[in-house]
Amino acid sequence: MATMAFTHSNQSLLRPRSFAVKDDCFCLFEGTLENLASLRQEYGLSKCVNEVLFVIEAYRTFRDRAPYPACKMVGHLEGQFAFVIFDRGTKTVFTAADSNGKVPLYWGITADGCLSFSGDAELLKAACGKSLASFPQGCFYSSASGLRSYEYPKNKVMGIPTMDGEMCGTTFKVEHENISASMV
């Protein structure tokens, strides 16, 4: 089971939020893609396709044309973004954040053991208690394959447990290279 919630409350004009559903793929997207026009052309999509619809189309393209890895899809995105996709057909969660961490995204485990994502750390803290962290920059997560770096797809992502006061979390590193994730 999956639950998604979306609001325009406290939305930045420079990082709009959008939600779309297409062919059992649900996507929440925040931010902008600087190369959207060239990506539309590369994927053969119409000019009316916005960021959220593009991410769904790109995800479906790579999902359906295996063995192409998801890091190829996310690696082509340029801009400030974070998104979460739930694919109801495959029961897969796929999420990613830009390599500069310009769009805040947090993740944690709720009291009932569910994985949760939010752009609002305080909201997530209420649901996850002491188990939450910033989503690592330049990475993507798939419930099918775990956390990976799209910038360095061949390198392992290591989680290092941290304590910040009463909060438990993780700092993520890509083989000797720190990629972020301080506790909230």
User: For each of the chain's 184 residues, which pLDDT tens digit applies?
Assistant: 556 665 667 767 778 889 999 999 999 999 999 999 999 999 999 999 999 999 999 999 888 876 667 677 898 999 999 999 999 999 999 999 999 988 999 888 888 888 889 888 888 888 887 678 889 888 899 988 888 888 877 777 776 666 665 555 666 666 654 444 444 4
CATH topology of domain 17-174: Glutamine Phosphoribosylpyrophosphate, subunit 1, domain 1 (3.60.20)
How far lies 29's CA from each of 84, 119, 160, in Å?
7, 10, 28
Termini Cα distance of the chain: 27
pTM: 0.82
CA distance linking residue 55 with residue 33, whole number of Å? 10
